[in-house]
Amino acid sequence: MPSPDGGRRTFLEVAYQMSSAVGTRTSTGVLELAVEQVLASVRPTALGDPVVGARRAEESLRDALRDAGPVDDNIALQHALACAEAACEHLKYAEIQEARTLLTAARGQLVLAHEGV
Protein backbone atom coordinates (compact mmCIF):
# COMPACT_ATOMS: atom_id res chain seq x y z
CA MET A 1 0.00 0.00 0.00
CA PRO A 2 1.72 3.25 -1.09
CA SER A 3 2.22 6.05 1.40
CA PRO A 4 1.61 9.73 0.57
CA ASP A 5 5.33 10.23 -0.13
CA GLY A 6 5.31 7.42 -2.72
CA GLY A 7 7.08 4.87 -0.49
CA ARG A 8 5.59 1.69 0.85
CA ARG A 9 4.05 1.63 4.29
CA THR A 10 4.89 -1.16 6.65
CA PHE A 11 2.26 -3.67 7.65
CA LEU A 12 2.45 -2.21 11.16
CA GLU A 13 1.63 1.28 9.89
CA VAL A 14 -1.41 -0.06 8.06
CA ALA A 15 -2.45 -2.04 11.14
CA TYR A 16 -2.17 1.08 13.33
CA GLN A 17 -4.38 2.99 10.94
CA MET A 18 -6.90 0.16 10.98
CA SER A 19 -6.76 -0.14 14.77
CA SER A 20 -7.60 3.52 15.23
CA ALA A 21 -10.59 3.05 12.96
CA VAL A 22 -11.95 0.23 15.10
CA GLY A 23 -11.18 1.82 18.46
CA THR A 24 -8.27 -0.24 19.78
CA ARG A 25 -6.11 2.81 20.45
CA THR A 26 -5.73 2.10 24.16
CA SER A 27 -2.18 1.83 25.50
CA THR A 28 -2.61 -1.91 25.84
CA GLY A 29 -4.10 -2.26 22.35
CA VAL A 30 -1.39 -0.22 20.67
CA LEU A 31 1.39 -2.09 22.40
CA GLU A 32 -0.23 -5.48 21.86
CA LEU A 33 -0.60 -4.87 18.14
CA ALA A 34 2.99 -3.68 17.86
CA VAL A 35 4.42 -6.61 19.81
CA GLU A 36 2.54 -9.15 17.69
CA GLN A 37 3.51 -7.51 14.42
CA VAL A 38 7.16 -7.05 15.36
CA LEU A 39 7.38 -10.65 16.58
CA ALA A 40 6.04 -11.77 13.22
CA SER A 41 8.39 -9.49 11.29
CA VAL A 42 11.54 -10.77 13.02
CA ARG A 43 10.83 -14.48 12.54
CA PRO A 44 13.86 -16.10 10.95
CA THR A 45 11.77 -17.01 7.89
CA ALA A 46 10.49 -13.42 7.55
CA LEU A 47 13.89 -11.74 7.60
CA GLY A 48 15.64 -11.25 4.30
CA ASP A 49 18.43 -9.04 5.58
CA PRO A 50 18.51 -9.35 9.38
CA VAL A 51 20.07 -5.90 9.89
CA VAL A 52 17.49 -4.13 7.75
CA GLY A 53 14.67 -6.18 9.26
CA ALA A 54 15.84 -5.41 12.79
CA ARG A 55 16.08 -1.70 12.00
CA ARG A 56 12.54 -1.61 10.59
CA ALA A 57 11.21 -3.59 13.55
CA GLU A 58 12.94 -1.23 15.98
CA GLU A 59 11.44 1.82 14.27
CA SER A 60 7.96 0.32 14.30
CA LEU A 61 8.23 -0.67 17.95
CA ARG A 62 9.57 2.76 18.97
CA ASP A 63 6.66 4.41 17.15
CA ALA A 64 4.24 2.17 19.05
CA LEU A 65 5.92 2.98 22.36
CA ARG A 66 5.45 6.69 21.64
CA ASP A 67 1.82 6.09 20.69
CA ALA A 68 1.07 3.94 23.72
CA GLY A 69 0.73 6.95 25.99
CA PRO A 70 0.41 6.83 29.77
CA VAL A 71 0.06 3.47 31.50
CA ASP A 72 -1.34 4.71 34.82
CA ASP A 73 -1.24 2.15 37.60
CA ASN A 74 -1.37 -1.09 35.58
CA ILE A 75 1.79 -2.85 36.75
CA ALA A 76 1.60 -5.57 34.09
CA LEU A 77 1.37 -2.93 31.35
CA GLN A 78 4.37 -1.12 32.85
CA HIS A 79 6.32 -4.40 32.71
CA ALA A 80 5.21 -4.97 29.11
CA LEU A 81 6.43 -1.50 28.16
CA ALA A 82 9.76 -2.14 29.88
CA CYS A 83 10.18 -5.39 27.96
CA ALA A 84 9.31 -3.69 24.67
CA GLU A 85 11.75 -0.85 25.35
CA ALA A 86 14.50 -3.36 26.13
CA ALA A 87 13.63 -5.24 22.92
CA CYS A 88 14.15 -1.99 20.99
CA GLU A 89 17.66 -1.74 22.36
CA HIS A 90 18.44 -5.27 21.20
CA LEU A 91 16.92 -4.61 17.78
CA LYS A 92 19.16 -1.56 17.48
CA TYR A 93 22.12 -3.97 17.43
CA ALA A 94 20.31 -6.65 15.37
CA GLU A 95 20.17 -9.00 18.36
CA ILE A 96 17.08 -10.73 17.06
CA GLN A 97 16.87 -13.66 19.47
CA GLU A 98 17.20 -11.43 22.54
CA ALA A 99 14.55 -9.07 21.16
CA ARG A 100 12.19 -11.97 20.45
CA THR A 101 12.61 -13.23 24.01
CA LEU A 102 11.75 -9.81 25.44
CA LEU A 103 8.80 -9.38 23.07
CA THR A 104 7.47 -12.77 24.14
CA ALA A 105 7.74 -11.63 27.76
CA ALA A 106 5.94 -8.39 26.84
CA ARG A 107 3.16 -10.42 25.24
CA GLY A 108 2.74 -12.40 28.47
CA GLN A 109 2.57 -9.20 30.50
CA LEU A 110 -0.05 -7.82 28.11
CA VAL A 111 -2.24 -10.82 28.83
CA LEU A 112 -1.99 -9.94 32.52
CA ALA A 113 -2.61 -6.26 31.72
CA HIS A 114 -5.95 -7.20 30.15
CA GLU A 115 -6.86 -9.03 33.34
CA GLY A 116 -5.96 -5.95 35.39
CA VAL A 117 -3.15 -7.64 37.33
State the average pLDDT over residues 78-89. Answer: 95
What crossing angle do the helices spanning 50-68 and 11-22 adopt, rounded to 10°? Answer: 20
In a domain, 1, yes or no: no
Radius of gyration of the chain (CA): 14
Given a contact cutoff of 8 angstroms between Cβ atoms, the answer to whether 37 and 12 are in contact is yes
In a domain, 5, yes or no: no
Given a contact cutoff of 8 angstroms between Cβ atoms, the answer to whether 112 and 76 are in contact is yes
Domain that holds residue 49: 11-115
CATH of the domain at 58: 1.20.120
Is the confidence at residue 20, as pLDDT, over 70? no
Question: What predicted TM-score, i.e. pTM, was given to this entire model?
Answer: 0.75
Q: Provide the domain count of the chain.
A: 1
In a domain, 86, yes or no: yes
In a domain, 100, yes or no: yes
pLDDT score, position 62: 93
pLDDT score, position 3: 44
In a domain, 6, yes or no: no
The per-residue pLDDT for range 39-50, each reduced to its tens digit, is 988 887 777 788
Q: Which residue has the higher pLDDT, 72 or 101?
A: 101
